[in-house]
Amino acid sequence: GNSVTQMEGPVTLSEEAFLTINCTYTATGYPSLFWYVQYPGEGLQLLLKATKADDKGSNKGFEATYRKETTSFHLEKGSVQVSDSAVYFCALHGSSNTGKLIFGQGTTLQVKP
Amino acid sequence: DTAVSQTPKYLVTQMGNDKSIKCEQNLGHDTMYWYKQDSKKFLKIMFSYNNKELIINETVPNRFSPKSPDKAHLNLHINSLELGDSAVYFCASSPLKNTEAFFGQGTRLTVV
């Protein structure tokens, strides 16, 4: 079945460091891929998305490229800020065309000043 | 002008009680969802409705019953609450079934 695997957290970085959060997936067909962010005490917000191979999603300095050959969608940011501290979720749409999102386990990012 | 709103935000209740969580979206979306987030932050879908029709029911105990009076509302009723039901429940909506979902703020349910 479809699944998403993210790197284990927590990830602790200093401000202005480079961020990579790895995400790989298993899916039939051509799923759409998403990164969601959950700030403390809040709901999930869509950070970025990619709907086909080689698409690059970007938002607020974050980027991720849909790599079909490696079944990956790694999240990157060149210079993190304290305000980026949150839980990041990689997700895909299942192949059943029901809108069901399958999430990775989430990666907690803590950025220290 | 909140897009997806849930009430209540916090719910503390005793085992055995029945409770409801309400969700409303003002985005004009056709599809709505309930997700459960456990204590380890893992998110899993529970239900999905498309134009008031149930399209996903993910092996959730039948103590959980969703109800969609119209396509802007999806409520979740839980009977005979158990300790293991403690979690954060998120409502979400999307314009089409395979587009991005917009999430509410969540309802933190604590069963004591």
Whether A11 has its CB under 8 Å from any CB of chain B: the answer is: no
Q: Does residue B11 surpass a pLDDT of 70?
A: yes
CB contact set of B85 (below 8 Å; sequence gap of 6+): B78, B109, B111
Predicted confidence (pLDDT) per residue in A45-57, tens digit: 999 999 999 999 9
Closest to A35 measured CA to CA, from A8, A62, A1, A2: A62
Indicate yes or no: CB of A105 within 8 angstroms of CB of B42: yes
Shortest Cα–Cα distance, B99 to chain A (Å): 7
Query: What residues in chain B have their Cβ under 8 A from chain A's Cβ atoms?
Result: 4, 31, 33, 35, 40-45, 48, 50, 55-56, 58, 90, 92, 94, 96-106
Distance CA(B101)–CA(B23), nearest Å, equals: 14
Distance CA(B21)–CA(B89), nearest Å, equals: 9
Strands B10-13 and B107-111: parallel
Indicate yes or no: CB of B101 within 8 angstroms of CB of A99: yes
3-state secondary structure of A49: strand
Output the pLDDT for position B111: 98
Whether A93 has its CB under 8 Å from any CB of chain B: the answer is: yes
Closest to B36 measured CA to CA, from B79, B72, B96, B76: B76
Q: Does residue A95 surpass a pLDDT of 90?
A: no
Predicted confidence (pLDDT) per residue in B63-78, tens digit: 999 999 999 999 999 9
Closest B-chain CA to A107: B41
CB contact set of A79 (below 8 Å; sequence gap of 6+): A16, A17, A18, A61
Q: Does residue B14 surpass a pLDDT of 70?
A: yes
- Which amino acid, one-letter code, is at A41? G
Closest to A35 measured CA to CA, from A84, A81, A1, A70: A84
Q: Does residue B1 surpass a pLDDT of 80?
A: no
Residue B104 is nearest to which of A36, A43, A49, comparing CB atoms? A43
Mean pLDDT of B50-70: 89
